[in-house]
Amino acid sequence: MKSFLEFSADGIPPVVEDRPDIIITVELGTATAAQASWQEPTATDNSGTVTLVSRTSTPGSFFPLGTSPVTYTFEDPSGNRASTTFNVIVQTGKSGSIHLAIYV
């Protein structure tokens, strides 16, 4: 009797939840960086399993003045990958505040 394993390659990557940009305004002359927090993105996959394989920053990290991209990459059991990127923008202004850029 012969036995064999059948393997079907999954070519569908995970679906990653997007995050809006985070804009933090610090008072001019008082700070050169700011701490940013966010809810980490999640992903789903047709296999039912998805793994976070990398992220460039974590919630609670400090970011310098300017724009810093934050990227999360997920992978399914077949090795298909998908990523999402959002920006943490630290800018100077009159008073300290945090804004979320909402895309409609």
Mean pLDDT split into 10-residue runs, the chain, 104 residues: 53 93 92 95 95 97 98 95 96 66 48
User: For residue 94, is it left (φ>0), alpha (ψ between -120 and 50) or beta?
Assistant: alpha
**Is the residue at 9 inside a domain?**
no
**Is the residue at 77 inside a domain?**
yes
What pTM was estimated for this model as a whole? Answer: 0.81
**Is the residue at 1 inside a domain?**
no
Identify the pLDDT of residue 96. Answer: 47
Locate tokens 């985070």: which residue? 22
For the chain, the distance separating the N- and C-terminal CA atoms, rounded to the nearest angstrom, is 60
Identify the pLDDT of residue 9. Answer: 73
59: Cβ–Cβ under 8 A, 6 or more apart, which residues? 36, 37, 38, 39, 40
**Is the residue at 5 inside a domain?**
no
**Is the residue at 8 inside a domain?**
no
Q: What is the DSSP secondary structure assignment for residue 13, as one 8-state letter?
A: P
Tell me the C-alpha distance between 78 and 49, whole Å.
10
Identify the pLDDT of residue 29. Answer: 86
Quote the number of domains for the chain.
1
